Structure 1
Amino acid sequence: MDVTAQSVWNNCLEFIKDNIQPQAYKTWFEPIKAVKLTENALNIQVPSKFFYEWLEEHYVKILKVALTKELGESAKLVYIIKMENTYGNKQPYTERIPSTQRTAVKAQDVDVPFNNKNPELKNPFVIPGIRNIKIESQLNPNYSFENFLEGDSNRLARNASIAVANKPGGTSFNPLLIFGGVGLGKTHLAHAIGVDIKDKYPEKTVLYISAEKFTQQYIEAVKKNNRNDFIHFYQIIDVLIIDDVQFFSGKTGTQDVFFHIFNHLHQNGKQVILTSDKAPVDMIDIEQRLLSRFKWGLSAELQTPDFETRVSILRNKLYRDGVEMPDDVVEYVAKNIKTNVRELEGAIISLIAQSSFNKKEITLGLAREIVEKFVKNTKREVSIDYIQKVVSDYFQMDINTLQSKTRKRHIVQARQLAMFFAKKYTKASLASIGSQIGQRDHATVLHACKTVDNLTTTDKQFRKYVDDLSKKLSM
C-alpha cells in the first residue's frame, strides 16, 4: 500500500467524516481502500459498480472539496472496482474505470453526464432510466404495534418484535422468524417492526420485500450479469425484512444468494426479520445450511386467536372505524369466526356494509344471517381425526390399524395418504401430524408426502385413491 496515497486518503476521510452522517460514513466510506497516488490522481478501490455509482450520485461534491484541499485544483479521483469474494467465486473481479468514465474532481469535470455511466441502475427497486436511486423502505405505515392487539396466541411474537424494533441487531433474536397460518398477522408484525425502527433510528436503511419479489429481482440480475451488484445492494441494508420466506422452497439459486447475503448481514450486526407459513422444521426443499441459520435466533409462532383476543380485535377495529355495535353482536361474531384475523375483520366489514347499504339496524339476527353466509363461503378446515376416519373407511380398516406399526403395503399407503391430506387440508405442523397419526416424527410425514406425490404421477391406481379421497374431503 502506497503510504502517500493512504495519508492523502486519511486526510480526506477526516474532512468527510465531519460533514456527513455517521451511518452514511460507515456504509459508503469505510469500505474504500486507497491504492496509489500518481501525480495528482488518487486511485481508490470500491467493492462494486453500484457502490461507485452511488458515490458519484451522492458524494461527488464533498469528494471534490476534500481532495482539492489535499492535492490542489488539478486533483483527480480514479475508481478501481474490485468485486470481493461475496458468494464463493475463487478470484475477485477487478475492473479499472478508464479515464473517460472516471469521476474527475477538477471543477470542470465534477458532474459527469448521466448517460456516460452504465444506464443499468443497480438498485433493483428502481425502474431503469430513472436517476434517483434512493432506497425506499417499502413499508406500510398503517401497520403498527398499536393496532396489533396482544393475546395469548401472539404474545411471544409481538414482544420479541418490539424488542427487535428497540434494538435492531442488538438482541439474540437475529434472525427473528415469525411463522403461522394465513391471516394471523405475520405481515402486519413484520411491517410494524420496520415502521418502528424507522421512527426510532431514521438513519438506518430498512427494507421490506416479499420472497417472491426478491426471487424475481435475483433472476433479472442473473440475466443481466449483475449478480455481484445485486448481492452488494442487499449487503448494505441495516434491517432486511423478507416476507413469506417459504417461497424460496426449491429455488436453489435464490437460496444460495440469500445464504451469502444473510451471512454478511448477520456477521456485521445487521437485523434480519423473516416470516413464513411454516416453522423451519416443516419447510420443504430449503437447504439445510439455510434452515440452520433460520434457527440461529428466535422462531415465534402466531396461533389462532382465542375468544377474548378475537373480541378485543373486533372492538379495536370498530373503535378505529368510528362504528358502534352491540356487545352481543360482537361476541357472536367472535364466537363463530375462529379461523383467522383476516376473516374475522372481513365478517365485521360485511356486517357494517349490509347495515349501511340496506339501512338496517345492526342486530343479533342480522349478525347470524351474515355469519352464516360468511362461514358457508369460507373453505372448511377439516381436522386430522376426520381425515383419518375418511381414509380408514375408504380402505375398510379401523383407525387403530391405520396408526399401527405394521409395514403391510396397503396399510402403509393408507397411513401415508392420511399424512398427505393432513398436511394439505390443515395448518398443523409436520410434527403435530406425525404425533396424531401413529406417533411418527416429522421426517416420516415429510417422506410420506413425497411418496404420495411420486406415486400419484407414476401409479394409475394410486392416483385414483388420491382423486377419490380429495373429493370426499372437499365435500
Structure 2
Amino acid sequence: MNKTCEQVWEKCLNIIRDIVEWQPFKTWFEPIKAVQLENNVLTIQVPSQFFYEYLEEHYVGLLGKTIKRELGKEARLEYRIVVENGTPHQHPKTVNMPTQFTKHQKDSEVDFPLTIQNPVKNPFVIPGIKRVQIDSQLNHNYTFESFIEGDCNRVARRAGKTVSDKPGGTSFNPLVIYGGVGLGKTHLAQAIGNEVKRQSPNKAVLYVSAEKFINQFIDHSKNNIINDFIHFYQLIDVLIVDDIQFFARAEKSQDAFFAIFNHIHQSGKQLILTSDKPPKDLDGLQERLLSRFRWGLSADMQIPDFETRMEILEMKMRNDGLEMPKEVVKYVAYNIQSNVRELEGALISLLAQSSLNRKDIDLELAKRVLKSFVKTSSKEITIESIQKMVCEYFDVPYDKLLQKTRKREIVQARQITMYLAKSFTKNSLKTIGEHFGGRDHTTVIHSCQTVKDLMDTDNSFRDSVIELQQKVQLAAM
C-alpha cells in the first residue's frame, strides 16, 4: 500500500510532537500542510517566506531525521511557500524551495534571497525617499561618555557596556533596563546601540519605541504584509525596544514580537528592552513573552543621589560652555530630586531667565526660578520635629541636645539641628537659639557656618547632612 503525503507527514508530526515543546509545535508545525509525495520527495506548504527561513534555521535537522526515518535515507524535503499577491479574490501563489539537508542540492539553492518575490519593505522609510541601508533611528548624542554613572545606575550602565562590547555574546540577552520616568533608560539603551555601531559599523542596529512598533504592525496588517514586517525585524543584529509596557494593550503585536524575539535571540543577536517596571510586574503581557524577558538580565535605574545630580549638572554646563556659581549648582541639585529630565529642565529655565532678564545667575534668581519645580510643603516643619529627627538619626538622647556638653557627637548633632532649623523653618536666629537651652543668635550663626565648612571637607559628614535634609523634606510632603 502506497503512503499518501498526508499519512507520511502525520507520522512525522507524531514524532516531532514528542520532541518539541507544545507552544513551538503549535506555532511552527501545526500550520504546515503536506501537498505532494513523489519519488521520496515530500513537499510541504508553509504560510510565508519568514516561516520557511525559521524552519530552516531552527528545525532543519529535526525535519531531516524525521522524514528519513519515514521514507528512507534517500528521502528529500521541499517547501512550497505561499506568496501574497495583494488581491484577496485570487488564490495565493506559491514558490517551491529546497531544504538545506537535501544531499543533491547545489550550494546556490540553499539561500533564499530577500528579493525572490518583492524586496522586504522597510517600515521606517518615508515614501518617496530611497534608503538602501537600515537607519538605526539612534540619537547620536546618547553615548556612554555623556551618561553619568552613580550608585543609582551602576549595574545597568556596566551591563550595557558589556553588551555593547559583545552584542549577543553574553548572558545579558535580553538586557532589560527598567525604572521611572526621566531616569536615563532611553539614553543608556541608545548609548549601547551607538557604541555597537562605533565598534561594528556593518551591524544592523535599530531603536524603536513599542508604540511605533505597534503602529507599524497595524499598518502592515491593514495592507496584508505582516510577513514583510516580521522579516524586516528579523534582519536586525541589535534590536532596542523602548517602553515595552505599552505592549500590554496590543495582543496581536505581542504575537509578532514573540516571533521576532525568538528569531533574534536564537540567531545569537542582541535584544535590549526598556520598561517602567521590572518584567515580573508587567501586567497584560503574554506569559511566554515575560518568561523570555527573564532569560537575561534586568537592571534597574533609580533616582540619582545628590553627588550624581551635581555631576550631571556640571557635565551639562561643560558641554554647553556655561558657568554658574557653585552654590547655585548645589541649590539646583539639592532641590530637584525627582529625575534627570526635570534637573536639566530646571537648568534650561534658569539660563533662559538669566538671558531674557539680562541678569547674572545667582542664588536669588535660582530660588525664584525653581519655585515652579519645587513642590511646596503641605506640612509645617517645626524646630521640635527637626530636633527629634536628628536625635533619632544619631541615637542621641533629646535632653542631651539641650545641655551644655562638649562631647563631639552631641555638639555636631546640635550644630546640624540648628543648621536644618535655619534652612527649613521661618524662625529667627534668636528663636532657634532659645530652643537649645537659651543659646544666643551668635551660637546659631557659628553652628551653621561650621556645618557648611565640614560639608565641604568631610564626605561622611556631608552624606549625613544630605540624608537628614531629605528626611526633613519627605516629612514636609
TM-score of Structure 1 vs Structure 2, range by shorter chain: 0.5 to 0.7
- Cα deviation, 1:203-244, whole Å, max 9, x if unaligned, reads 100000000011111111111111112111111110000001
1:261 CA drift (Å): 0.7
* Partner residue in 2 for 1:253: 252
Q: Describe the SS at the equivalent of 1:178.
A: strand
* Partner residue in 2 for 1:94: 82
* Partner residue in 1 for 2:470: none
State how 1:108-127 maps to structure 2 within 5 Å: 122-127=121-126
Residue 195 (structure 1) aligned with residue 194 (structure 2): yes
State how 1:451-462 maps to structure 2 within 5 Å: none
Length, aligned pairs only: 284
* Partner residue in 2 for 1:242: 241
- Cα deviation, 1:380-420, whole Å, max 9, x if unaligned, reads xxxxxxxxxxxxxxxxxxxxxxxxxxxxxxxxxxxxxxxxx
* Partner residue in 1 for 2:432: none
Distance in 1 (alpha carbons) for counterparts of 2:136 and 2:345: 28
Moved more, 272-281 or 129-138: 129-138
1:260 CA drift (Å): 1.1
Distance 1:121 1:267, change over 3 A: closer
Distance 1:328 1:84, change over 3 A: closer
* Partner residue in 2 for 1:168: 167
Q: Which runs of 5+ in 2 are unaligned?
A: 1-45, 57-78, 86-94, 96-114, 378-476
Distance in 2 (alpha carbons) for counterparts of 1:177 and 1:166: 17
State how 1:128-277 maps to structure 2 within 5 Å: 128=127, 130-277=129-276
Distance in 1 (alpha carbons) for counterparts of 2:275 and 2:252: 19
State how 1:292-441 maps to structure 2 within 5 Å: 292-376=291-375
Whichever residue aligns with residue 188 of structure 1, its letter is H
* Partner residue in 2 for 1:403: none
1:375 CA drift (Å): 2.2
1:47 CA drift (Å): 11
Q: Describe the SS at the equivalent of 1:299.
A: strand
1:94 CA drift (Å): 3.4
Distance 1:356 1:203, change over 3 A: same
1:126 CA drift (Å): 1.6
State how 1:24-63 maps to structure 2 within 5 Å: none
* Partner residue in 1 for 2:281: 282
Aligned Cα root-mean-square deviation (Å): 3.1
* Partner residue in 1 for 2:439: none
1:301 CA drift (Å): 0.4
TM-score (ref. length: structure 1): 0.56
Q: Tell me, yes or no, if the aligned pair for 1:209 and 1:243 is still in contact at 8 Å.
A: yes
Identity of aligned residues (%): 60
Distance 1:149 1:96, change over 3 A: closer
1:352 CA drift (Å): 1.1
Distance 1:84 1:191, change over 3 A: closer
Q: Tell me, yes or no, if the aligned pair for 1:180 and 1:302 is still in contact at 8 Å.
A: yes
Distance in 2 (alpha carbons) for counterparts of 1:185 and 1:122: 32
1:159 CA drift (Å): 0.5
Distance in 1 (alpha carbons) for counterparts of 2:302 and 2:168: 26
Q: Describe the SS at the equivalent of 1:291.
A: helix
- Higher gyration radius (CA): 2
Distance in 2 (alpha carbons) for counterparts of 1:119 and 1:169: 30
Distance in 2 (alpha carbons) for counterparts of 1:131 and 1:47: 29
Q: Describe the SS at the equivalent of 1:127.
A: coil
Distance in 2 (alpha carbons) for counterparts of 1:330 and 1:132: 45
Distance in 2 (alpha carbons) for counterparts of 1:119 and 1:228: 12
Distance in 2 (alpha carbons) for counterparts of 1:120 and 1:321: 44
1:250 CA drift (Å): 2.7
- Cα deviation, 1:417-465, whole Å, max 9, x if unaligned, reads xxxxxxxxxxxxxxxxxxxxxxxxxxxxxxxxxxxxxxxxxxxxxxxxx
Distance in 1 (alpha carbons) for counterparts of 2:215 and 2:194: 25
- Cα deviation, 1:7-38, whole Å, max 9, x if unaligned, reads xxxxxxxxxxxxxxxxxxxxxxxxxxxxxxxx
1:132 CA drift (Å): 3.4
Q: Describe the SS at the equivalent of 2:187.
A: helix
1:130 CA drift (Å): 4.4
Distance in 2 (alpha carbons) for counterparts of 1:203 and 1:186: 25
Q: Tell me, yes or no, if the aligned pair for 2:243 and 2:273 is still in contact at 8 Å.
A: yes
Q: Which runs of 5+ in 1 are unaligned?
A: 1-45, 51-80, 103-115, 379-474
- Cα deviation, 1:302-354, whole Å, max 9, x if unaligned, reads 00000110111111111111111111110111111100000011111111111
Would you identify which runs of 4 or more consecutive aligned residues in structure 1 move more than 6 Å?
46-50, 116-120
Distance in 2 (alpha carbons) for counterparts of 1:117 and 1:125: 22
Distance in 2 (alpha carbons) for counterparts of 1:159 and 1:47: 42
Q: Tell me, yes or no, if the aligned pair for 2:147 and 2:188 is still in contact at 8 Å.
A: yes
Q: Describe the SS at the equivalent of 1:249.
A: helix
Q: Tell me, yes or no, if the aligned pair for 1:139 and 1:208 is still in contact at 8 Å.
A: yes
